Chain A
Amino acid sequence: MKIKSLILAGVFAIAGFNASANNSSLFSYNKSDVNSKLNCVTAVENFVNQNEGVTIANLNADGQQLVAAANLTEATSISASLLDGPVGIPSFVWGLCLSVTGILVVYLVTQDGDETKKALFGCLLGGVVYGVFYVIYVIAVIGSF
Protein backbone atom coordinates (compact mmCIF):
# COMPACT_ATOMS: atom_id res chain seq x y z
CA MET A 1 0.00 0.00 0.00
CA LYS A 2 2.84 2.36 0.94
CA ILE A 3 4.61 1.62 -2.31
CA LYS A 4 1.43 2.34 -4.23
CA SER A 5 1.05 5.69 -2.47
CA LEU A 6 4.66 6.58 -3.15
CA ILE A 7 4.31 5.75 -6.83
CA LEU A 8 1.16 7.83 -7.05
CA ALA A 9 2.83 10.74 -5.28
CA GLY A 10 5.77 10.42 -7.66
CA VAL A 11 3.55 10.48 -10.71
CA PHE A 12 1.81 13.60 -9.46
CA ALA A 13 5.11 15.25 -8.65
CA ILE A 14 6.59 14.48 -12.06
CA ALA A 15 3.47 15.59 -13.82
CA GLY A 16 3.35 18.81 -11.87
CA PHE A 17 0.34 18.18 -9.70
CA ASN A 18 -1.62 21.36 -9.44
CA ALA A 19 -4.63 21.45 -7.21
CA SER A 20 -5.24 25.14 -7.63
CA ALA A 21 -5.74 25.24 -11.39
CA ASN A 22 -9.31 25.33 -12.58
CA ASN A 23 -10.10 23.30 -15.64
CA SER A 24 -13.19 21.59 -14.29
CA SER A 25 -15.42 24.24 -15.89
CA LEU A 26 -14.26 22.91 -19.25
CA PHE A 27 -15.81 19.59 -18.39
CA SER A 28 -19.36 20.80 -18.20
CA TYR A 29 -22.09 21.37 -20.73
CA ASN A 30 -25.75 22.14 -20.82
CA LYS A 31 -27.24 18.72 -21.39
CA SER A 32 -30.82 19.86 -21.84
CA ASP A 33 -29.68 22.48 -24.34
CA VAL A 34 -27.85 19.87 -26.42
CA ASN A 35 -30.80 17.51 -26.24
CA SER A 36 -33.19 20.25 -27.29
CA LYS A 37 -31.01 21.04 -30.32
CA LEU A 38 -31.46 17.42 -31.38
CA ASN A 39 -35.11 17.05 -30.41
CA CYS A 40 -36.38 16.69 -33.96
CA VAL A 41 -33.73 14.07 -34.76
CA THR A 42 -34.69 12.18 -31.61
CA ALA A 43 -38.29 12.13 -32.85
CA VAL A 44 -37.11 10.38 -36.04
CA GLU A 45 -35.01 7.99 -33.95
CA ASN A 46 -38.07 7.06 -31.89
CA PHE A 47 -40.10 6.59 -35.07
CA VAL A 48 -37.47 4.22 -36.51
CA ASN A 49 -37.39 2.25 -33.25
CA GLN A 50 -41.16 1.89 -33.35
CA ASN A 51 -41.27 0.89 -37.03
CA GLU A 52 -38.91 -2.03 -37.54
CA GLY A 53 -37.24 -2.09 -40.95
CA VAL A 54 -38.13 1.44 -41.93
CA THR A 55 -35.60 3.35 -44.04
CA ILE A 56 -35.57 6.88 -45.35
CA ALA A 57 -36.80 5.54 -48.69
CA ASN A 58 -39.93 3.82 -47.41
CA LEU A 59 -41.21 6.24 -44.78
CA ASN A 60 -44.90 6.79 -44.44
CA ALA A 61 -46.38 10.31 -44.31
CA ASP A 62 -45.77 10.63 -40.55
CA GLY A 63 -42.17 9.61 -40.95
CA GLN A 64 -41.62 11.96 -43.86
CA GLN A 65 -42.99 14.80 -41.81
CA LEU A 66 -40.58 14.04 -38.97
CA VAL A 67 -37.64 13.79 -41.34
CA ALA A 68 -38.55 17.12 -42.91
CA ALA A 69 -38.87 18.76 -39.49
CA ALA A 70 -35.44 17.44 -38.55
CA ASN A 71 -33.97 18.64 -41.86
CA LEU A 72 -32.32 15.25 -42.12
CA THR A 73 -29.74 14.34 -44.75
CA GLU A 74 -30.42 11.22 -46.77
CA ALA A 75 -26.80 10.15 -46.72
CA THR A 76 -25.26 7.86 -44.18
CA SER A 77 -22.81 10.04 -42.39
CA ILE A 78 -19.72 7.92 -42.93
CA SER A 79 -17.00 10.50 -42.74
CA ALA A 80 -18.64 12.65 -40.12
CA SER A 81 -19.87 9.93 -37.81
CA LEU A 82 -17.95 6.78 -38.47
CA LEU A 83 -14.60 7.58 -39.99
CA ASP A 84 -13.95 9.89 -37.10
CA GLY A 85 -15.88 7.44 -34.96
CA PRO A 86 -18.08 7.95 -31.97
CA VAL A 87 -15.00 9.29 -30.28
CA GLY A 88 -14.57 11.94 -32.95
CA ILE A 89 -11.59 13.57 -34.57
CA PRO A 90 -9.20 12.55 -31.84
CA SER A 91 -9.35 8.94 -32.99
CA PHE A 92 -6.74 9.99 -35.48
CA VAL A 93 -4.74 12.10 -33.10
CA TRP A 94 -3.64 9.03 -31.21
CA GLY A 95 -2.33 7.52 -34.36
CA LEU A 96 -0.02 10.33 -35.27
CA CYS A 97 2.96 8.06 -35.33
CA LEU A 98 1.55 7.05 -38.68
CA SER A 99 2.39 9.88 -41.01
CA VAL A 100 -0.61 9.35 -43.30
CA THR A 101 -2.85 9.66 -40.30
CA GLY A 102 -1.16 12.94 -39.49
CA ILE A 103 -2.41 14.32 -42.78
CA LEU A 104 -5.91 13.31 -41.89
CA VAL A 105 -5.58 15.06 -38.57
CA VAL A 106 -4.57 18.28 -40.25
CA TYR A 107 -7.43 18.01 -42.67
CA LEU A 108 -9.99 17.19 -40.04
CA VAL A 109 -8.81 19.59 -37.42
CA THR A 110 -7.95 22.65 -39.45
CA GLN A 111 -9.85 22.07 -42.69
CA ASP A 112 -7.02 24.14 -44.09
CA GLY A 113 -5.49 23.26 -47.45
CA ASP A 114 -2.13 24.89 -46.71
CA GLU A 115 -1.82 23.12 -43.40
CA THR A 116 -2.69 19.83 -45.07
CA LYS A 117 0.01 20.41 -47.67
CA LYS A 118 2.54 21.05 -44.91
CA ALA A 119 1.58 17.78 -43.27
CA LEU A 120 1.87 16.00 -46.60
CA PHE A 121 5.40 17.35 -47.05
CA GLY A 122 6.18 16.30 -43.49
CA CYS A 123 4.90 12.85 -44.31
CA LEU A 124 6.98 12.61 -47.48
CA LEU A 125 10.07 13.85 -45.64
CA GLY A 126 9.43 11.32 -42.89
CA GLY A 127 9.17 8.62 -45.53
CA VAL A 128 12.46 9.64 -47.14
CA VAL A 129 14.25 9.71 -43.78
CA TYR A 130 12.82 6.31 -42.91
CA GLY A 131 13.82 4.99 -46.34
CA VAL A 132 17.41 6.21 -45.96
CA PHE A 133 17.72 4.62 -42.52
CA TYR A 134 16.20 1.40 -43.84
CA VAL A 135 18.68 1.23 -46.73
CA ILE A 136 21.58 1.85 -44.31
CA TYR A 137 20.21 -0.88 -42.03
CA VAL A 138 19.88 -3.38 -44.89
CA ILE A 139 23.42 -2.59 -46.12
CA ALA A 140 24.74 -3.03 -42.58
CA VAL A 141 22.95 -6.37 -42.19
CA ILE A 142 24.19 -7.63 -45.57
CA GLY A 143 27.70 -6.39 -44.76
CA SER A 144 27.75 -8.34 -41.50
CA PHE A 145 27.55 -11.67 -43.35
Chain B
Amino acid sequence: MLGQQFFRVKADFSIKETLENGKSNLTMGTVYFDKSSKRMVYQIKFPRKETLLITDSNLYRIQEGKIIEQKPAFNILNFSIYNLALSSKMSNFGLDGNTAFKLVNVEKEDSLIISTWRPSLENLKDITGDILISQKKKQLFGLVFFNKDGKLLSKQFFEEYKNFKGLEFPGNITQINYIDGKEYYKITTFKNVVVNDLNENTIYNFALPVH
Protein backbone atom coordinates (compact mmCIF):
# COMPACT_ATOMS: atom_id res chain seq x y z
CA MET B 1 0.00 0.00 0.00
CA LEU B 2 1.41 3.36 -0.97
CA GLY B 3 1.78 5.99 1.74
CA GLN B 4 -0.37 9.07 1.57
CA GLN B 5 1.14 12.03 -0.23
CA PHE B 6 1.14 15.18 1.86
CA PHE B 7 1.38 18.46 0.02
CA ARG B 8 -0.12 21.13 2.23
CA VAL B 9 -0.27 22.04 5.87
CA LYS B 10 -1.90 24.92 7.68
CA ALA B 11 -1.77 25.74 11.39
CA ASP B 12 -2.42 28.49 13.88
CA PHE B 13 0.88 29.29 15.53
CA SER B 14 2.22 31.23 18.43
CA ILE B 15 5.87 32.04 19.11
CA LYS B 16 6.83 33.27 22.55
CA GLU B 17 10.42 34.09 23.35
CA THR B 18 12.78 35.88 25.65
CA LEU B 19 15.34 38.10 23.97
CA GLU B 20 18.93 39.04 24.76
CA ASN B 21 17.97 42.67 25.33
CA GLY B 22 15.77 41.65 28.25
CA LYS B 23 12.57 42.07 26.30
CA SER B 24 10.12 39.43 25.13
CA ASN B 25 8.41 38.75 21.86
CA LEU B 26 5.07 37.32 20.91
CA THR B 27 4.13 36.54 17.33
CA MET B 28 0.78 34.92 16.52
CA GLY B 29 -1.07 34.02 13.37
CA THR B 30 -1.64 31.30 10.84
CA VAL B 31 0.98 29.60 8.69
CA TYR B 32 0.29 28.03 5.31
CA PHE B 33 2.78 25.81 3.53
CA ASP B 34 2.38 24.41 0.05
CA LYS B 35 5.02 21.97 -1.09
CA SER B 36 4.10 22.24 -4.77
CA SER B 37 4.01 26.00 -5.10
CA LYS B 38 7.04 26.27 -2.79
CA ARG B 39 5.50 28.94 -0.67
CA MET B 40 5.29 29.45 3.04
CA VAL B 41 2.89 32.18 4.08
CA TYR B 42 2.63 33.57 7.58
CA GLN B 43 -0.56 35.55 8.11
CA ILE B 44 0.41 37.38 11.27
CA LYS B 45 -2.28 38.86 13.47
CA PHE B 46 -0.14 39.97 16.43
CA PRO B 47 1.74 42.17 17.23
CA ARG B 48 0.50 43.73 13.99
CA LYS B 49 -1.33 42.49 10.95
CA GLU B 50 1.11 41.59 8.21
CA THR B 51 1.98 38.81 5.81
CA LEU B 52 5.30 37.10 5.42
CA LEU B 53 5.84 35.24 2.19
CA ILE B 54 8.82 32.93 2.03
CA THR B 55 9.78 31.53 -1.34
CA ASP B 56 12.78 29.35 -2.14
CA SER B 57 14.97 32.43 -2.36
CA ASN B 58 13.39 35.38 -0.58
CA LEU B 59 11.37 36.51 2.35
CA TYR B 60 8.87 39.30 1.73
CA ARG B 61 7.19 41.30 4.44
CA ILE B 62 3.88 42.74 3.29
CA GLN B 63 1.71 45.27 5.09
CA GLU B 64 -1.52 46.69 3.72
CA GLY B 65 -0.86 45.18 0.31
CA LYS B 66 2.64 46.61 -0.05
CA ILE B 67 6.03 44.93 0.18
CA ILE B 68 7.85 46.77 2.93
CA GLU B 69 10.87 44.48 3.25
CA GLN B 70 12.64 41.86 1.22
CA LYS B 71 15.44 39.60 2.46
CA PRO B 72 17.29 36.65 1.01
CA ALA B 73 16.04 33.46 2.60
CA PHE B 74 17.90 30.57 1.04
CA ASN B 75 16.89 27.04 1.83
CA ILE B 76 14.36 27.91 4.50
CA LEU B 77 11.56 26.09 2.71
CA ASN B 78 13.37 22.80 2.22
CA PHE B 79 14.44 22.56 5.82
CA SER B 80 11.37 24.04 7.40
CA ILE B 81 9.55 21.85 9.85
CA TYR B 82 6.57 21.88 7.49
CA ASN B 83 8.47 20.49 4.52
CA LEU B 84 10.27 17.93 6.65
CA ALA B 85 6.99 16.77 8.14
CA LEU B 86 5.20 16.61 4.78
CA SER B 87 8.15 14.75 3.28
CA SER B 88 8.32 12.28 6.20
CA LYS B 89 11.88 13.37 6.90
CA MET B 90 11.32 14.83 10.29
CA SER B 91 12.45 11.95 12.48
CA ASN B 92 16.07 12.49 11.44
CA PHE B 93 15.51 16.11 10.67
CA GLY B 94 16.47 15.71 7.03
CA LEU B 95 20.03 14.66 7.84
CA ASP B 96 19.69 11.34 6.03
CA GLY B 97 21.49 11.60 2.76
CA ASN B 98 22.96 14.98 3.68
CA THR B 99 26.62 15.19 2.69
CA ALA B 100 27.43 17.98 5.13
CA PHE B 101 27.05 15.78 8.23
CA LYS B 102 27.88 12.13 8.85
CA LEU B 103 26.43 9.78 11.41
CA VAL B 104 29.14 8.86 13.91
CA ASN B 105 27.30 7.28 16.78
CA VAL B 106 23.97 5.74 17.73
CA GLU B 107 23.00 4.88 21.26
CA LYS B 108 19.88 3.73 23.04
CA GLU B 109 19.27 5.28 26.41
CA ASP B 110 16.05 4.76 28.30
CA SER B 111 13.27 5.55 25.85
CA LEU B 112 15.53 7.53 23.51
CA ILE B 113 17.49 6.60 20.41
CA ILE B 114 20.25 9.18 20.24
CA SER B 115 22.30 9.72 17.10
CA THR B 116 25.34 11.94 16.82
CA TRP B 117 26.02 13.77 13.57
CA ARG B 118 29.38 15.35 12.89
CA PRO B 119 30.27 17.89 10.23
CA SER B 120 32.03 16.08 7.43
CA LEU B 121 33.19 19.05 5.40
CA GLU B 122 36.44 20.67 6.49
CA ASN B 123 35.19 24.25 6.29
CA LEU B 124 32.06 23.23 8.15
CA LYS B 125 34.14 21.89 11.05
CA ASP B 126 35.47 25.41 11.55
CA ILE B 127 31.96 26.70 11.97
CA THR B 128 29.88 24.20 13.85
CA GLY B 129 30.17 21.11 16.01
CA ASP B 130 28.21 17.94 16.61
CA ILE B 131 24.46 17.71 16.43
CA LEU B 132 22.67 15.17 18.57
CA ILE B 133 19.24 13.97 17.55
CA SER B 134 17.00 11.96 19.79
CA GLN B 135 13.95 9.99 18.79
CA LYS B 136 11.22 8.77 21.06
CA LYS B 137 8.67 6.31 19.70
CA LYS B 138 10.17 6.84 16.23
CA GLN B 139 9.39 10.56 16.40
CA LEU B 140 11.85 13.40 16.57
CA PHE B 141 12.09 14.38 20.21
CA GLY B 142 15.15 16.52 20.71
CA LEU B 143 17.98 18.30 18.96
CA VAL B 144 21.16 19.44 20.68
CA PHE B 145 23.66 21.70 18.96
CA PHE B 146 27.26 22.32 19.87
CA ASN B 147 29.68 24.86 18.49
CA LYS B 148 33.01 23.88 16.96
CA ASP B 149 34.62 23.80 20.43
CA GLY B 150 32.02 21.45 21.81
CA LYS B 151 30.18 24.14 23.74
CA LEU B 152 26.43 23.72 24.07
CA LEU B 153 24.59 26.20 21.85
CA SER B 154 20.99 25.18 21.76
CA LYS B 155 18.46 22.51 22.63
CA GLN B 156 15.11 21.95 20.98
CA PHE B 157 12.32 19.66 22.06
CA PHE B 158 9.46 18.52 19.86
CA GLU B 159 6.47 17.41 21.89
CA GLU B 160 2.73 16.84 21.97
CA TYR B 161 2.57 15.15 18.58
CA LYS B 162 -0.80 14.61 17.04
CA ASN B 163 -1.80 12.65 14.00
CA PHE B 164 -3.54 14.57 11.24
CA LYS B 165 -4.77 12.31 8.45
CA GLY B 166 -1.65 10.23 8.94
CA LEU B 167 0.74 13.15 9.35
CA GLU B 168 2.50 13.33 12.70
CA PHE B 169 3.01 16.94 13.68
CA PRO B 170 4.27 18.39 16.98
CA GLY B 171 2.02 20.74 18.91
CA ASN B 172 4.83 22.25 20.89
CA ILE B 173 8.49 23.08 20.23
CA THR B 174 10.61 24.37 23.06
CA GLN B 175 13.99 25.88 22.30
CA ILE B 176 16.63 26.86 24.82
CA ASN B 177 19.55 28.93 23.54
CA TYR B 178 22.73 29.29 25.56
CA ILE B 179 24.40 32.63 24.93
CA ASP B 180 27.21 34.04 27.07
CA GLY B 181 26.27 31.86 30.01
CA LYS B 182 22.62 32.81 29.94
CA GLU B 183 19.57 30.88 28.80
CA TYR B 184 16.98 32.23 26.40
CA TYR B 185 13.70 30.51 25.73
CA LYS B 186 11.38 30.12 22.81
CA ILE B 187 8.14 28.18 22.75
CA THR B 188 6.35 27.60 19.47
CA THR B 189 2.90 26.09 19.56
CA PHE B 190 0.76 24.82 16.71
CA LYS B 191 -3.01 24.42 16.88
CA ASN B 192 -5.82 23.68 14.44
CA VAL B 193 -3.49 21.85 12.07
CA VAL B 194 -5.07 21.10 8.69
CA VAL B 195 -3.39 18.76 6.23
CA ASN B 196 -3.94 18.70 2.45
CA ASP B 197 -6.44 21.54 2.63
CA LEU B 198 -8.07 22.09 -0.76
CA ASN B 199 -9.53 25.45 0.19
CA GLU B 200 -7.81 28.81 0.48
CA ASN B 201 -5.82 28.34 -2.72
CA THR B 202 -5.27 32.07 -2.94
CA ILE B 203 -3.28 32.05 0.27
CA TYR B 204 -1.36 28.86 -0.44
CA ASN B 205 -0.36 30.27 -3.83
CA PHE B 206 0.07 33.76 -2.43
CA ALA B 207 0.98 36.23 -5.17
CA LEU B 208 3.20 39.20 -4.46
CA PRO B 209 1.47 42.56 -4.68
CA VAL B 210 2.11 44.35 -7.96
CA HIS B 211 2.87 48.06 -7.84
Contact = CB atoms under 8 A, between A and B. Distances in A.
Interface size on B, as a range, is 35 or more
B17 A81 contact: yes
A56 B81 contact: no
Given A57-B48, A86-B15, A78 B173 contact: no
B123 A21 contact: no
A77 B17 contact: yes
Nearest to B13: A86
Interface in A72-96: 72-78, 80-83, 85-96
A106 B119 CA distance: 14
B105 interface: yes
A87 B45 contact: no
22 contacts: A17-B105, A23-B114, A38-B187, A54-B46, A55-B45, A71-B22, A72-B25, A75-B47, A78-B52, A78-B59, A78-B71, A82-B42, A82-B52, A85-B79, A86-B81, A90-B131, A90-B154, A95-B74, A100-B74, A104-B74, A106-B127, A109-B147
Interface residues of A, number: 70
Contacts of A71: 22-24
B105 A18 contact: yes
A96 B182 CA distance: 27
Interface in B16-55: 16-19, 22-28, 42, 44-50, 52, 54
B174 A15 contact: no
A76 B48 contact: yes
B104 A80 contact: no
Contact of B186 (A26, A44, A53, A81): A81
